[in-house]
Amino acid sequence: MRKSLSSFTVLALGAGLLAGCGQGDSKPSSNASETKPATGDKKIVLKLLQGKPEIADKTKQMLADYQAENPNVTIEPEITVDVQTRLKTLFAAGEAPDIFFVKGYTDMGLWRDRLVDLSDEPWMSKVLPTTLPGMTFDDKKYGFPISIEGYGFIYNKDLFAKAGIDKVPTTITELEQVNEKLKAAGIVSYSEAYKEWWTLGQHLLSLPFAYTPDPAGYAKQLNDGSAKIKDNPMIDGFFKVLDMTVKYGSGVESLGVSYDTEIANFATGKVAMIQQGVWALQPILKVNPDVNMGMFPIPLTDNAEDTRIPISVPNYYGVNKESKNVEEAKKFLNWIHENGQKYLVDSFQFVPAFSDLQATDQLGPLAADMNEYVKNDRIIPFAFFLWPAPGIQTQFVKPLQAYVGEQLNKEQALDEIQKIWTGAVKK
């Protein structure tokens, strides 16, 4: 989603896919154990905790390849729906993993006392500048960036052409005009998954925060009470876009639309647009491999120069500093970077987060469109990483769903969001 551009300038990029979650395949056990076989070689076991069930099999293949090259090392993965909750449980039980997923900014700050400083690792000089702010605290860098992701409105190029739309909108007025043209052609504009907390309470709501000149500074002002959410100059644009997605989409029934339904409706040509990111490519193609699609940023103003695409790192690998095998864990991360083209890009189909890894055509049209904005430095950060408490998005979505359901007006919804923010700061 976005970043303060002064600290989030990107040098190069590629394409990618989603941050998802799934159930683990291995049961948790004690932190990295060691035994010494009769040969005298040290046997090392590393525990790896991560999300992304959609690449579970590919992750296991990568680990198998590493173990084939390093026969004294066994890496046991666990893939879970909720990494944050699982981490807390494992640390509390004294069974913490050696390597684990951690999100940037607020989450990274919460876990940094448990993490190894990776500032001097050989691959750190190759990470893209946009990956650094989320993992850097007191000039120390704690993460190995997995990929870059971005989101906006994914659109059906054929339906746009059918409605006589020959270019994507770059202002909020142009977005309204696009919706009117689609309506005139008998085409439904949107199918938005407002049943899901993350599409409405995280991705869409993040935009007015990300579009401020200094997202991190603005978050601090909200934390100390010197700023109010209702006074955000981008908040009116946010509600205008939200209103459009309801008016030209499923109306109040949007509250019952799930992510899977949203994907299916778009893939089968029932709607022209959905608010999603590069991670939606494979799910869409799985339903219909012939969709002619692209992606553009969501405008909140009538100044085209304001319109930028949210970009960030969804997850980093972190190394547990209490691991008995820190050096082996660092060696593994170095190996991933050295083989990043094969695994991170070609196999996982992630947007490369390193300057020495190259995007390929396999990464698809969404990543290609995203990368045009990246190359031109027309990006904003994932501002929800700056919000005051992990999981606060699940609370923000409730007043917004009530707004969509016409139970709260705009002012009431904003008051509720402000109360949630203020309450999180006071805890």
Contact between 129 and 11 under an 8 Å Cβ cutoff? The reply is yes
> 21 in a domain, yes or no?
no
239 and 165 in one domain?
yes
416 and 270 in one domain?
yes
**pLDDT for 170 beyond 50:** yes
Predicted confidence (pLDDT) per residue in 109-146, tens digit: 999 999 999 999 999 999 998 899 899 999 999 999 99
> 260 in a domain, yes or no?
yes
**pLDDT for 34 beyond 80:** no
- pLDDT number for residue 374: 84
401 and 262 in one domain?
yes
> 157 in a domain, yes or no?
yes
Overall average pLDDT of the 286-312 stretch: 96
207 and 107 in one domain?
no
> 8 in a domain, yes or no?
no
414 and 272 in one domain?
yes
Residues near 219 by beta carbon (within 8 Å), at least 6 away in sequence: 209, 383, 386, 387, 388
**pLDDT for 150 beyond 70:** yes
Looking at per-residue pLDDT, the higher value among 97 and 376 belongs to 97
- pLDDT number for residue 33: 37
> 10 in a domain, yes or no?
no
137 and 155 in one domain?
no
> 9 in a domain, yes or no?
no
Buried b (16+ CB within 10 A) or exposed e, 259-268: beebbbbbbe
Overall average pLDDT of the 92-118 stretch: 94
Predicted TM-score of the model (pTM): 0.79
220 and 182 in one domain?
yes
Instruction: Look up the CATH number of the domain holding residue 217.
Output: 3.40.190.10
> 104 in a domain, yes or no?
yes
- pLDDT number for residue 2: 32
Q: At what angle do helices 410-426 and 215-224 cross, to 10 degrees?
A: 80
413 and 400 in one domain?
yes
Instruction: Report the number of distinct structural domains present in the chain.
Output: 2
354 and 413 in one domain?
no
265 and 173 in one domain?
yes
| Chain mean pLDDT for the chain | 89
348 and 202 in one domain?
no
Overall average pLDDT of the 198-213 stretch: 96
405 and 370 in one domain?
no
Domain encompassing residue 167: 150-311+388-426
**pLDDT for 254 beyond 90:** yes
Among the candidates 377, 398, 414, a domain finishes at 377
